[in-house]
């Protein structure tokens, strides 16, 4: 399998000297194309920081991140923005949608910004899979939390990005909606060859992934391939107990 993303000695330190916090220290790993990866770890272990760095939303302190061999640090703001727009998709934990735009407009927002026509067939398919076809003309405040997250996921899919970054996408959802979303994410990886990097707290959510990276104090504590939910739970408890 192809390494889509590679990190080399990735280190992120917040703040100066005495008050500095090392959020990530010397992370060396990679993310394969067409794989569903979950990042887990206790609160404050650096999960979000890692995701933000990978997605070019935050600058690394040292080390580098290569996307298809290109060092993110070598890109200027404009090139980074373009990369986020054309190659990445995002689903955040909350506030994913522009309140003044309808669900449909939110879904096609990345291509609208790029001044491109969205691929209609594909968007239709995404919408169908997300089961939000009847909600397209509604504004976000008229949608339930689960529907909002699904719209966000549809947006992340619609522009056919190389990788989707998701930070606790199901964090705000009830178990039913949460399951729906995860099933969908899994299906697009399997059926549509999508690549997904997802941060989560929830072992159940992580069990949908093919690979689970465990973080602790900014370092990779474990890297599991196709773990079962039980394995994940035991790993998590061991991490929190120590």
Partner 1 sequence: MFGYTKRPLFLIAWKNLKTYPVRILLTTSSIILGVAVIIASSIFSESNKSAFDNLFSGIYEGIDLVANPVQEDFANDFSDSRGQGPISFELKKIPDKRIQEIKDLPGVKDAWGEVFGFAQFIKIVPRDCRSHTYERECTETIFISNGFAPTFGGSWDTSPYAKQWELIDGKAPENNKEVVMDKTTAENNDYSVGDRVTVLAGSTPASFSIVGIADFANVGSPGGATFALFELKTAQTLLDSKGQVDLVNIVIENNADIETVRTLIENLDKGGLDVINAQEAAAEQADGIKQGLNFFNTILNVFAGIALFVGAFIIQNTFRILLLQRTKELSLLRALGTSKKQIYRLVLSESIFMSLIGSGIGIGLGIGLAVVVKEGLKYFEFGLPDGPLVLTTEAAITGAIVGITVTILSSLLPARKASQVSPMEAIRESTLTPKLKSLIKRLIFGSAVTTLGFALLFGVLYDFLDLPSLSGLQQVGFGAGVIFIGISIITPSITKPFVFLFDKLYEIVFGILGKLATENSKRTPRRTASTASALMIGLTLISLANVITTSFKAQAESVVGEVVKADYQVSAAQVFVSPGIPTGLADELIELEEVTELSRSRATIVGYEERPLILGAVDEAIFDLIKTENVSGSKEEFAKPNSMGVLKQKAERDNINIGDEITLTIPEEGEMTFTIAYIFDWTTPPPAEFFLLLENYTFFSNESLDTEIYFNVKDKNEATQDKLDAIVSDYPGAKLRDQDGLVEEANNQIQQLLNVIYGFLSISVFVALFGITNTLSLSVYERTREIGLMRAIGTYRKQVRRMIFVESSIISIFGAFLGTGLGIFFAWSLIKALEDEGFSNFTVSVSQTFTWIGIAVISGVIAAILPAIKASRQNILEAISYE
Ligand X SMILES: Nc1ncnc2c1ncn2[C@@H]1O[C@H](COP(=O)(O)OP(=O)(O)OP(=O)(O)O)[C@@H](O)[C@H]1O
Q: Name the residues that contact ligand X, by CB under 6 A.
A: 14-15, 21, 23, 41, 43-49, 201
Select from partner 1, ligand X, Mg ion, none the partner in contact with residue 120, using the beta carbon and a kind-dependent cut-off of 5 to 8 Å: none
Judged by CB, which is closer to ligand X: 140, or 218? Answer: 218
Alpha-carbon gap, residue 25 to 216, rounded angstroms = 10
Q: Taking a C-beta distance cutoff of 8 angstroms, is the pair 54, 89 a contact?
A: no
Q: How far is the CB of 115 from partner 1 (least distance, A)?
A: 6
Binding mask 39-58 for Mg ion (x = CB under 5 A): ---------x----------
What are the φ and ψ backbone dihedral angles of 102, each rounded to 5 degrees?
A: -75, 170
Q: Is 34 helix (H, G, I), strand (E, B) or coil?
A: coil
Nearer residue to ligand X within complex by CB, 23 or 153: 23
- Nearest residue to 51 (alpha-carbon basis) of 89, 22, 86, 104: 89
Residue 48 Cβ vs Mg ion, minimum distance, rounded to whole Å: 3
Find which of Mg ion, partner 1, ligand X, none residue 15 binds, CB within 5 to 8 Å per kind: ligand X
Judged by CB under 5 A, the number of residues near Mg ion is: 1
Name the minimum Å distance from CB 73 to ligand X: 19
Nearer to Mg ion, 48 or 111 (CB): 48
Q: How far is the CB of 82 from partner 1 (least distance, A)?
A: 7
The DSSP 8-state label assigned to residue 226 in this structure reads S
**Looking at beta carbons only, is 164 or 215 nearer to ligand X?**
215
Distance between alpha carbon 189 and the CA centroid of its chain, in Å? 13
- Measured from the CB atom, is 37 or 45 closer to ligand X? 45
Q: How far is the C-alpha of 17 from the C-alpha of 161, rounded, in Å?
A: 38
* Cα gap 89→75, rounded to integer Å: 18
Give the burial class of 137: count Cβ atoms within 10 A of its Cβ; 0-12 exposed, 13-18 middle, 19 or more buried.
Answer: exposed
Dihedral-angle region of residue 231 (phi above 0 means left; psi in -120 to 50 means alpha; beta otherwise): alpha
- Across the strands, what pairs with 215? 220
Q: Which does 43 bind (CB under 5 to 8 A by kind): Mg ion, partner 1, ligand X, none?
A: ligand X
Sequence-distant (6+) residues with CB within 8 A of 78 are none
Give the number of residues written for the chain.
Answer: 242
Compute the least distance from the CB of residue 122 to partner 1, in Å.
Answer: 17
Binding residues (CB under 8 A) for partner 1: these are 48, 52, 55, 57-58, 77-78, 81-86, 88-90, 92-101, 105, 109-110, 112-115, 141, 155
Closest approach of Cβ 227 to partner 1, in Å?
A: 27
**Residues within the interface to Mg ion (CB under 5 A):** 48
């Amino acid at each position: 399998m192809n390494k889509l993303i590679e990190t080399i000695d990735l280190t992120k330190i917040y703040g100066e000297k005495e008050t500095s916090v090392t959020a990530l220290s010397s992370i060396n790993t990679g993310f394969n194309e067409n794989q569903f990866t979950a990042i887990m770890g206790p609160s404050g272990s650096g999960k979000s920081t890692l995701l933000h760095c990978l997605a070019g939303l935050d600058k690394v302190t040292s080390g580098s991140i290569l996307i298809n061999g290109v060092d993110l640090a070598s890109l200027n703001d404009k090139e980074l923005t373009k990369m986020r727009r054309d190659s990445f998709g995002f689903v955040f934990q909350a506030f994913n949608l522009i309140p003044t735009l309808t669900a449909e407009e939110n879904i096609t927002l990345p291509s609208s910004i790029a001044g491109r026509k969205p691929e209609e067939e594909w968007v239709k398919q995404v919408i169908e899979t997300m089961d939000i076809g009847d909600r397209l003309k509604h504004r976000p405040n008229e949608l339930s939390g689960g529907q909002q997250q699904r719209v966000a996921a549809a947006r992340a899919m619609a522009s056919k990005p190389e990788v989707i970054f998701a930070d606790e996408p199901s964090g705000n959802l009830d178990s039913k909606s949460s399951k729906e979303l995860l099933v969908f994410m899994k299906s697009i990886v399997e059926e549509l060859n999508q690549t997904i990097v997802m941060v989560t707290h929830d072992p159940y959510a992580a069990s949908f992934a093919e690979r689970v990276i465990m973080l602790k104090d900014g370092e990779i504590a474990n890297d599991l391939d196709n773990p079962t939910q039980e394995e994940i739970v035991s790993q998590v408890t061991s991490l929190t107990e120590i």
